[in-house]
Amino acid sequence: MTKTIYIHIGHYKTGTTALQVFMNSNRQALRDLGTLWNKGVDYPEQFCDLAKHSKLAFSIYREAGVSSLMYGFQNDVPAQTRWNNFFDYVRQSKCPSVLISSEEFMRMGANPAATQLLKDIIAPVKNEFTFKIIAYLRRPDAHLRSWYNQLVKLRQPVPDFNSTVCDVMEPIHYDYSLALKPWIEMFGSKSVIVRPYTEALRENHELFRDFLGVLGIPFDGKNAKRWNVPGDRINLRMEDRFLELTRITQNMGMKAGRPKQLQERFAKLLDDHQLENRSSQSFDHVVETSQRAMETLKASQNTAPLAALFADHLPIADAPDRAEMLNLIQLLLQENATLRNRLNKHTQEVNTRLDTIENQLGTKKPDSQ
């Protein structure tokens, strides 16, 4: 019987870490299913690092000359050797299918040289195994924000969001056709299984249920008690309101602990601001009121021209991002003022001590000199 190789390629920020922890924690349970009804899946431990199989991808990127976001990967085992060892493992596995998972595979579309290396590696065994590629994609707007958050969390020296998207992020983060292109070209569109990653998958183990469904394994029923389900605090994103402050302080190279202090002060500033400025009405109410007023003015001959002129220029609320930016500016100005006052105080104290020492030594010159 032809063995199936499943390659879960991500995308980034689509619950990949949670899935990898789940598969890693249930390795034996998944294998046991093979002896029950020939649906067992082997999640190989010997190629695993931190529950994922990223070294299989990194070995290719290293030979292709990729240097960014390699997370210190230095292993010099040739990619061909590493993959040949994996294919030997598949041949010897007692399960009908073997699964490897790493979101790093998704970068192939942004690196043509790496894609060609992978094609050369796959070519000799392409007809020996059945390949199935699994990818999860989320809304591009949500994905870009989440990946930007992750880059800051990883302490990458990134600029602001717009510049990061345009100048730093690989295009596979917003060009999904490019991200899937190498896999479709290698294995055909019918072999590439694409699933939408939605908020609903974050609830009630739906992501695990959906992923196992792709593998042909029921999550519920008789299997329900088999699973060791990880907690929901895996690879949590950084709180958005601290994101830009964290990015700026990291890029400034502040000493360890200082960014955390600023976060705490920023949180207090935001919380105090909300308490002091809590309104009994929403801005939507302001817009509706203004619109009704324009309709009233239109009914009068004297004010109708004015109302027509202003009709498309109703009040506009500040976007949350702008409000956050203004609060951040306020915090940094307060911090600057605090440091300046502290420096002035210390300077004054030092001058006083110097004056005392000079007086004791009798070396202080008269003011007239």
Of 103-112, 191-200, 292-301, which range is least confident? 292-301
Token digits of residue 114? 């790496």
pLDDT at 287 over 60: yes
Q: What is the mean pLDDT of residues 311-335?
A: 70
- In which residue are the tokens 């990967």 written? 73
Q: How far apart are CA 122 and CA 187, in angstroms?
A: 10
pLDDT of the residue at 157: 87
Rg (CA), the chain: 30
pLDDT at 360 over 90: no
pLDDT of the residue at 310: 77
177 vs 253, higher pLDDT:
177
Domain ranges of the chain: 4-236, 239-255+318-369
pLDDT of the residue at 275: 43
pTM over the 0.75 mark: no
pLDDT at 11 over 90: yes
Average pLDDT in the chain = 85
| Fold (topology level) of 4-236 | Rossmann fold (3.40.50)
pLDDT of the residue at 364: 59
Q: What is the mean pLDDT of residues 282-297?
A: 81
Q: How far apart are CA 104 and CA 286, in angstroms?
A: 48
Mind spelling out the 3-state secondary structure of the chain?
A: CCCEEEEECCCCCCCHHHHHHHHHHCHHHHHHHHHHHCCCEECCCCCCECCECHHHHHHHHHHCCCCCCCCCCCCCCCHHHHHHHHHHHHHHCCCCEEEEECHHHHHHHHCHHHHHHHHHHHHHHCCCCEEEEEEEECCHHHHHHHHHHHHHHCCCCCCCHHHHHHHHCCHHHCCHHHHHHHHHHHHCHHHEEEEECCHHHHCCCHHHHHHHHHCCCCCCHHHHHHCCCCCCCCCCCCCHHHHHHHHHHHHCCCCCCHHHHHHHHHHHHHHHHHHHCCCCCCHHHHHHHHHHHHHHHHCCCCCHHHHHHHCCCCCCCCCHHHHHHHHHHHHHHHHHHHHHHHHHHHHHHHHHHHHHHHHHHCCCCCCCC
Q: How far apart are CA 203 and CA 212, in angstroms?
A: 16
Cis ω for the linkage preceding 8 (within 30 of 0): no
To the nearest 10°, the Cα dihedral for 98, 103, 105, 108?
A: 160
pLDDT of the residue at 280: 55
290 vs 125, higher pLDDT:
125
Q: Are 40 and 97 in contact (CB under 8 A)?
A: yes
- In which residue are the tokens 């329900």 written? 224
Q: Are 195 and 214 in contact (CB under 8 A)?
A: yes
Closest CA to 70 of 33, 107, 35: 107
pLDDT of the residue at 33: 82
Query: In this predicted model, what pLDDT tens digit does every residue of 27-68 receive, in sequence order?
Result: 999 998 855 556 789 999 999 999 999 999 999 999 999 999
Of 23-37, 130-144, 206-220, which range is least confident? 23-37
Q: How far apart are CA 292 and CA 82, in angstroms?
A: 70
pLDDT classification of 342: cutoffs 50, 70, 90: confident
Of 84-88, 240-244, 270-274, which range is least confident? 270-274
pLDDT at 200 over 80: yes
pLDDT at 290 over 80: yes
pLDDT at 134 over 80: yes
